[in-house]
Chains A and B, each alone.
Chain A
């Protein structure tokens, strides 16, 4: 188990480093800096700001400073943290620096505020996806060929065929205007997350339904199911004990890409439903050239996705005794 963890950790660091480096330099290739949108400033003030945020340094130096934890500032003002007190120590120790756009906040603050919201949204989306998908998939497989099966399959294939903001549009029209049940925008209680969660999770529910159906059908055609029947097990036991375990395995593998997709989709959904999560911050930061915030969110998402994938792989080895951890 230890070699497994160490190997994962190693590649995690490599991946993270690649992401940070590419994003850092990519952002800075774009013309225009974070402060171009401001009212025109006089030269001296502009120089000051540039210096304060180390934007006058050569890029490689900015990069090293960003990664930290050294403070390369031998002379000149130290880059201060958002609240103007502690100096910026660099990403390696978890300090994402001040937001270039929201001058009074550090990136850590912003992420800290918005992340719980996004995580809740993501979890609700995942719950929708799993509950709808698994039930539909199992039902489809058990009553294969029936009208229920055909209907469920059509719904499932349809769920993958629409962009999530269209689904969101339909939901809003229906549940907010026609049948006013749920709030449409903002964030205050769990009720605000029901519709957005569904819109976000729907395409994944559809895919999970298809995977489950295929997985179950595959399992049900195996010889060991015939053996289970031959032993005299009642059908209920055959399905619950022998079939479902194997049938669900493909879904477990899918959870990794699914959560990544949910994170991606949240960018759009948060905008539509005006939910103050990290997703909306990301898009804005990319457009505003708020380097640190954009980097911070990117790093955050990379960490999340990687950790989730590792967890999923680990869970898979626990579920399927044929796979050893070395192989995964």
Chain B
């Protein structure tokens, strides 16, 4: 039994513009100590999925239509708000994209850290000071003691994100969900933060769900990758397999659009033609059909289900939601030499 099991999760948002199907039938599993990367564009549903896991989706206008989330065998949707809150921050933690807006500007760093221990471990403010300073030191912040009394706006972007990570790891959670942790940071800081996450994972054995739109981030850190598009999972694979042999046209498009410094000479930047779909007005069949080069009539009929993408070299489970994946497999294997 996996540590975290998500089955057929569907979330919809009811707004003035209509009903938005943000997440549709998403499933995945997370084992202890492993890193799962979830990749997708804005609007792909990757963030909403994980907010739903922690019960952080605002319930109007959001509606959890279906699905189950089991953590360590317990069904999270059946827990009372109080029980769920007890898990959040303690065994299941989440860090967010923009550390400036995600930290309260009116409270000191120390206060925001200490309250995690206060709520989950019953520690008083004074008693919590040492563990908090230690946590700041663990994430590589120099002079941690003095930082406790500083305010978020007095720290740099990279340091604030470290504070967020420290805050999330204070109670030694089993699962850490990192929602675009490096997107708002400079490239050099990005690398540092990812390295930090990797170190902490090795030290504590935390399982990490890494949500990002950046393939580079995923390549470096995750064991397995799940690609999402328009609220659905379109492909899952071990990281190496995904990069070497993408089975979904969208994944292939994403990989192809990464600019390369070496290799073939110039040529225009490649992109996937078309626009991301309007979630309030999804086409009947595959959501990617309007932009897909391999599209057929059957694609437009019904949304293709996730099927096993038979891959003898696969290092783990492989699934793809595309009826034409075989054709893609042929073209990529033919062009394999070019990679």
Contact = CB atoms under 8 A, between A and B. Distances in A.
Nearest to B171: A232
Given A230-B88, A231-B167, A321-B151, A224 B119 contact: no
B106 A232 contact: no
B94 interface: yes
Nearest to B101: A223
A277 B81 CA distance: 55
Given A223-B96, A322-B151, A231 B102 contact: no
Contacts of B54: 230
B107 A223 contact: no
Given A223-B98, A224-B101, A234-B82, A229 B106 contact: no
A246 B104 CA distance: 9
14 contacts: A223-B102, A226-B56, A227-B96, A227-B102, A229-B88, A230-B88, A231-B119, A234-B82, A241-B115, A242-B107, A321-B105, A321-B106, A321-B151, A322-B151
Interface in B172-211: none
Interface string A221-251: 0111011111111110100011001100000
A224 B103 CA distance: 5
Interface string A292-328: 0000000000000000000000000001111000000
A235 B104 CA distance: 16
Given A229-B56, A230-B89, A234-B119, A222 B106 contact: no
Size bracket of the B interface: 20 to 34
Contacts of A230: 54, 56, 88-89, 93-94, 96
B85 A233 contact: yes
B183 to A, nearest CB: 13
Size bracket of the A interface: 20 to 34
B258 interface: no
B86 interface: yes
A234 B120 CA distance: 11
Interface in A188-245: 222-224, 226-235, 237, 241-242, 245
B319 interface: no
A224 B115 CA distance: 14
Interface of A: 222-224, 226-235, 237, 241-242, 245-246, 319-322
B103 A232 contact: no
B5 interface: no
Interface in B101-154: 101-107, 115-116, 119-120, 151, 153
B249 to A, nearest CB: 35
A246 B107 CA distance: 10
A199 B44 CA distance: 55
Interface in B52-99: 54, 56, 81-82, 85-90, 93-94, 96, 98
Nearest to A231: B89
A219 to B, nearest CB: 9
A178 to B, nearest CB: 43
| 10 tightest Cβ-Cβ pairs between the two chains A and B | A232-B89, A232-B88, A231-B89, A223-B101, A224-B104, A223-B102, A321-B151, A230-B94, A227-B102, A232-B85
Contacts of A222: 101
A224 B160 CA distance: 13
Listed residue (A232, A235, A320) with the most chain B CB atoms within 10 angstroms of its CB: A232
A246 B106 CA distance: 7
A226 B119 contact: no
Nearest to B151: A321
A66 B85 CA distance: 69
Interface string B272-296: 0000000000000000000000000
Contacts of A224: 101-105
Contacts of B107: 241-242, 245
